Amino acid sequence: MKKLCVLLLSALTVATVVSSVQARGIASGREFDTFRLPNSTVPTHYTLRLDTDVHRGVFEYTGNVQIRINVLEATNQIVLHSLRNEISNLQLRNGAGLTVAVRNYELDEEKEFLVINVGTTLQPNSGTYTLEIDFTNSIDRTDQAGFYKSSYEDDEGVTRYLGLTQFESVDARTSFPCYDEPGIKTTYDIRIVCGIEYHARSNAPLLGIKLLEGGKKLSTFATTPRMQTYLVAWLVSDFVYEREVLTEPQLAIATWAKPSSAHLLSYSVDASKRFMRAMEEYFGQQYSMSKIDNVAIKDSDYAAGAMENWGLVTYREQAIFYDPAQGEQRQIGVVTIVGHEFTHQFFGNLLAPKWWSYLWLNEGFARLYQYYVGDISHPELNLRQRFITGPLQTALRADDSLTVRPMTYYIDTRQGISRLFDNIAYDKAACVLRMMNYALGERTFQKGLRYYVQQNKDRGVVEESNLFDALEQAAKEDAVLPISLSMHDIFGSWSNQPGVPLVKVRRDGNEYYFTQERYVANDPPPEPFTNAWWIPISFSTPSNTEFEKRPAFWMPPNVSEVMYEIDTAEGETVAFNPKSTGYYRVEYEEAMLRELIKGLNKDHTTFEASARARLLDDTLNLAHSRGHNYEMALQLFSYLQKETEYVPWMVAYDNLRDMQVRLRSNEKASGLLQAFVEKLASPMLEKFGANQQQGESASVQELRTIAIELACGASESCKAVAQSAVSSVARGARRHYSTTDSALLCSGLQQATGDQRKAFVGQISQTLVDKTVDDIFTKQNLKQSLSCAGSDMAKVESYAKLLFALEETDRTKALHRLLVESKVPLADVVESLQSELSLRNSNSVYRNKIPKVLLEVARYVTEPSEMQLLNAATAAYAPWIATEIEQQLKANRRWLDLNLEPLDSLSRVRGGGTARTTVLPPFEETGVAISSATGPLQAR
């Protein structure tokens, strides 16, 4: 799923790459050899007053910050962060209120430090000093970071402005001078002056309002809990809100948005209420303030998906708006994003990471419990299964390269820190935490987390060893770990090493032998890896489910082979990692795999849905990484003709789409694959039909959508529905359009004539600018379907604009539609990106999206001419990812070299038959003729 929290904040222009202090006044000559503050002085409290005229469309603001400071080491310098603030006055006072002489102050532009040279040496334990700074700054910035402006159009068409903040990771310093490190926690008293008809909100509850002259007012907020700078937040707007006040204990929960969206807020308020109470109970900890606000910001003004500011959480509008016509899929979106940000109120906010190295202690927990507490607060949404199809799949793919980083990873530059917000911090960390949840048993793990919260909340700053200590205490008390094992060793083997393990298993009678190694999808290492893990091995057989979640044993690192006995009844097979609870892949020896495939084709329901998913994913990925065993992998996939469950199909879908990407430029192979895919998905399309039904679950809707995407072209009835969908849009028919509609439209567009496509594109171009169509999801789904209109799309929107406007998951889908389904030449897409970037390069929101878009495009690139184009675009617009791009291109080539021929051999077996005549391997109720040398999918 998409990044929910923050991300990629701007690499604000740090053009000057000089490491010495840029002196203003007398140079001190001091150079800082690190991006870390010296921390010889530390802040204990901030009083911040801001004065803004955003209500008048005036974007300059003035600020006054008073920072109470303690001295830890004798020093004549106070060093904190500041960027963009124009300082007009700076004073230092001692505990008695007397002025302490300041020689001068200087800015270190590279380090973003404000260095204050004091006339005397400040001594430790010499009482509290107060540093007071007056400054001016502007919210007129385009990087969607710091204190910045957004806007909306009111009913009269007048533009209304608002000001909001986005400080994570290192942009608090761009709005007021501060000690901007995540491990420094202090309290804040915030006061905001704004227009009388505007509301100011901040982290803490509003204490009072005082009217001022000139149509302005002063809002004073209560003192915040001790928190780090990146959580400080405020909003100055004329937004409206929907609020619910809970009692015992009192908690006001509200969602704020522009007035015309007031009818879309109820669901998010209700979801917030349910999630908050479930979370408080689960972790045995009460939320620490009497209010929490959600704020919806226009998508195009909000780069992150959402941000967990303590008490004032911000989101893209799209992420929390809900219209009852939208159904369960959108409910899942709202619950999981609210759940993610609310989980941060404990993990991240109450317990701050000591440094960015431990970002995974924030994001891993938030990613896990958005599903797992969400499953408690909203059991009807069945969220746990979505972890397997979401974060687990994402993590396994992100973690299979040679160059991936470990979870705990030190870096201190602005750009380096922004790159830590990746799938490792979010998805892998969530998978490893979830694995421990099952390995220790859920009750013990929960108890350990309660210890973790209670033992650390007063200090409020954590590193990984604090978590390991708490889990170990719970594990020892409940005797769920062998006495000789330590959580530090076990968990440390996962957090401090990169990569995902591959567990190989072979069988001799009832003895099973295990080895482990690091799994790498492409580019096997020049020499064997030394990585090894403490791996909880779980299994199930049809008659034994005792160890399906909790481990039968812990496989130690640095042991060449481990044997474990499993008694099975006659004809029974053993599935390892059957609940997908372990973060590892399994490779069965061939004889075992044959038995599993036979069993699956005979009666797939004897295996858990999650076990079927793992088997599909592990087997096909191993085939890809070695270029052999396709016979087995495709025989395995052929069971999908009988599959109608969510988890296996979503995982299979991921894999089939991935193959479509890789085989894109080979017409013959992609034709064969398409025929295979249609055969697999047609029974499901027949079962669910192309038309949506009222009141269906999200899972059924998603299954129908993928059945349409994969197999509509092979069904006359589906094609008819799809064509009529296209003509209904072309005629200008009005209604809500869902993601399923978007899939149908795509299929219809593929069959449409040139004139029909033009009429369709023309109509959509009107709908997209039509202000009376206020459903952003309809607009988005129609926009998505444009990517299926191929080159006709370019009449409405450039490829680049479409890709940059979409969030990650939608962008992935749109790119697939453009390049695979509509067969738009990749060169056209890259050229469109280049021409867009040449206009926009200075915009740092674009700067942050460029690497992601280029890396996404790189997955499709196989031809030398395409490689050249992409390399040139990378060199011009994102040279810092040149190595990553190079690796991806190399990996693509290697994949094709390894796999194209085995897959292409299918056509030779069929005597050069066209794609549509290809058939599946023989499929029999009693088993599959796997060894048949004449099977059409026989690999070489």
The number of residues making up the chain comes to 940
Which residues from 420-439 bind Zn ion, rule CB under 5 A? none
> What's 255's DSSP letter?
E
Q: For residue 5, state whether it binds Zn ion (rule: CB under 5 A).
A: yes
Residue of 112, 317, 341, 643 with catalytic role? 341
Question: Which residue shows structure tokens 């009807």?
Answer: 380
Q: Is 45 annotated as a binding residue?
A: no
Q: Is 340 annotated as a binding residue?
A: yes
* Least CB distance to Zn ion at residue 289 (A): 19
Residue 532: name the closest of 512, 552, 515 by CA.
515
C-beta of 314 vs 763, nearer to Zn ion: 314
Cα(370)–Cα(582) distance, integer angstroms: 19
* Least CB distance to Zn ion at residue 231 (A): 12
C-beta of 305 vs 935, nearer to Zn ion: 305
Q: Which helix (H) or strand (E) holds 208?
A: strand 206-212
Number of residues that bind Zn ion (CB under 5 A): 3
> CB of 293 within 8 A of CB of 312?
yes
Number of H helices and number of E strands within the chain?
Answer: 28, 30
Per-position DSSP letters for 909-935, written without gaps between them: HTTT--GGG--PPP-BTTB--TT-TT-
* Least CB distance to Zn ion at residue 429 (A): 11
* Least CB distance to Zn ion at residue 292 (A): 16
C-beta of 332 vs 730, nearer to Zn ion: 332
Pairing of strands 539-540, 312-316: unpaired
Dihedral angle of Cα 596, 597, 600, 606, to the nearest 10 degrees: 0
Residue 345, class by beta-carbon neighbours within 10 Å (0-12 exposed, 13-18 middle, 19+ buried)? buried
Number of residue whose CB is nearest Zn ion: 5
> CB of 203 within 8 A of CB of 63?
no
The answer to whether the Cα torsion of 48, 51, 54, 57 is positive or negative is negative
C-beta of 294 vs 699, nearer to Zn ion: 294
C-beta of 5 vs 368, nearer to Zn ion: 5
Cα(744)–Cα(767) distance, integer angstroms: 18
* Least CB distance to Zn ion at residue 884 (A): 23
Q: Is 344 annotated as a binding residue?
A: yes
Q: Specify the stretch interacting with Zn ion by CB under 5 A; choose among 16-24, 356-364, 566-574, 788-796.
A: 356-364
Q: Specify the stretch interacting with Zn ion by CB under 5 A; choose among 174-182, 357-365, 892-900, 907-915.
A: 357-365
519 — phi, psi (to 5°)?
-90, 125
The Cβ of residue 124 has, within 10 Å, a number of other Cβ atoms equal to: 12
* Least CB distance to Zn ion at residue 841 (A): 28
What residue type is 293 in one-letter code? Answer: D
> CB of 783 within 8 A of CB of 804?
no
List the x/- string, 614-633, binding to Zn ion by CB under 5 A: --------------------
Cα(316)–Cα(43) distance, integer angstroms: 33
C-beta of 366 vs 505, nearer to Zn ion: 366
Cα(54)–Cα(162) distance, integer angstroms: 6
List the x/- string, 360-399, binding to Zn ion by CB under 5 A: ---x--x---------------------------------
341 is a catalytic site residue: yes
> CB of 937 within 8 A of CB of 920?
yes
C-beta of 5 vs 122, nearer to Zn ion: 5
Cα(722)–Cα(749) distance, integer angstroms: 8
Q: For residue 337, state whether it binds Zn ion (rule: CB under 5 A).
A: no
Question: Please, how many CA atoms are within 13 Å of residue 879, restricted to the half-sphere of its CB?
Answer: 2
* Least CB distance to Zn ion at residue 168 (A): 9
Q: For residue 231, state whether it binds Zn ion (rule: CB under 5 A).
A: no
Q: What angle, 0 to 180 degrees and rounded to 10, lies between the N-to-C axes of helices 808-816 and 646-662?
A: 50
- Beta strands in 143-195, from DSSP E residues, in sequence order: 146-153, 159-166, 187-195
C-beta of 362 vs 862, nearer to Zn ion: 362
* Least CB distance to Zn ion at residue 366 (A): 4
**Which residues are annotated binding-site positions?**
340, 344, 363
- Tell me the binding residues for Zn(2+): 340, 344, 363
Given the rule CB under 5 A, which residues bind Zn ion?
Answer: 5, 363, 366
Active site residues: 341
